Structure 1
Amino acid sequence: MFKIMIFARRKAGLSREELMSIYEEEHIALTNDLVAQEKLPPMVDYRRNYIDHDSAMNVGAIDFDVVTEVWFEDQAGFEANRRGLSDPQVAQLVGEDMAKFLDLTDIRYVVVDERRGGGEAP
């Protein structure tokens, strides 16, 4: 399994609810359409985690509003996704869509080595 995490801020002027609505209703629909048209490869999993900036549980400065997790079958699947996103037509569609709800000047992508387990109930 190959996983990336994306840390992004919402576009200035958007509320958390607006960010969530546009991401969930419009961007996910576009992503699904591009996968269905085989312009992007399928992902194993695609999760969005919206930061609750009002939570007393937060520690330290948090300068992002959403953490996206994307799993691919392997690195080849990830590379196929990158190739798909480099197609000029796909890049324009995705870029214009992301500009509706994200601050495109500061999006951070990281490849992670995910480990699971520990802390389970006996």
Structure 2
Amino acid sequence: MLITLGFYKRKPGLSVEEFRHIWSVEYGTLYRTRPEITKYLRRYVQHRLSPQTDWPSQFVGFDGFSEAWFDSAEDRKAMQALPFYKEVLAPKMAEFLDLENSKFAAYDDQVYQVGGEPPLHSD
């Protein structure tokens, strides 16, 4: 299992509400409604972040992050090579993300979790 994480900053000039609407309603829906995408994407989760004022350390500074789960790196590459991804999803990201200050492609090979079934590993 490969989990790709993206840490996002909204495009300058967008309010938090505008960002969340575009990201969740317009963009996120495209992932779950397209069979050519769900063929490769096992799970897609969006996390909306807000500053926590009672926390003793500095806010992480992102508006949200996402998890995209794939069976393999090859499946992730295959999804990103699809015409729909290149022609619709990638340009849509540029509408609401500050791409220069967002961070992409952090890989997490999940080792441990609390609750639910433990992930399977070959090592």
TM-score (norm 1): 0.75
In structure 1, C-alpha distance between the alignment counterparts of 2:30 and 2:98, rounded to whole Å: 18
**For the aligned residues, what is the CA RMSD?**
2.5
Q: 1:115 aligned to 2:111?
A: yes
Any stretches of 5+ residues in structure 2 without a counterpart? 116-123
Q: How many residues align?
A: 114
Shift of 1:39: 6.0
Q: What SS is found at the alignment partner of 2:11?
A: coil
Percent sequence identity over aligned pairs = 25
Deviates more, 1:53-62 or 1:14-23: 53-62
Does the 8 Å CA contact 1:9/1:102 hold for their aligned counterparts?
A: yes
Q: CA deviation at 1:13?
A: 1.7
Whether the 8 Å contact between 1:40 and 1:80 is mirrored in structure 2 is no
State the SS of the aligned residue for 1:78.
Answer: helix
Query: Which residue among 53, 56, 59 is the counterpart of 2:57?
Result: 59
- Relative to structure 1, the CA distance from residue 48 to residue 82 in structure 2 (aligned partners, 3 Å threshold; closer, same or farther) is same
2:88 to 93, 97, 118: 93
Partner residue in 1 for 2:6: 6
Q: State which of 60, 81, 84 in structure 2 corresponds to 1:83.
A: 81
- Tell me what 2:24 maps to: 24
In the alignment, the residues of structure 2 paired with residue 75 and residue 96 of structure 1 have an alpha-carbon distance, to the nearest angstrom, of 22
Give the AA of the match of 1:97.
K
The letter of the residue matching 1:57 is W
- Structure 1 distance, partners of 2:12, 2:101, is 12
- The two structures have a TM-score, normalised by structure 2, of 0.75
Q: In the alignment, what sits opposite 1:49? A: 47
Report deviation, 1:42: 3.4
C-alpha displacement of 1:40: 6.8
SS of 2:24's partner is: helix
CA offsets 1:67-111 (integer angstroms, 9 cap, x no match): 111111222322212322xx4x64232233112211122221211
Instruction: Flag the 1:49–1:96 CA change in 2: closer, same or farther, 3 A.
Output: same
With 12-21 and 50-59 compared, the bigger mean Cα shift is at: 50-59
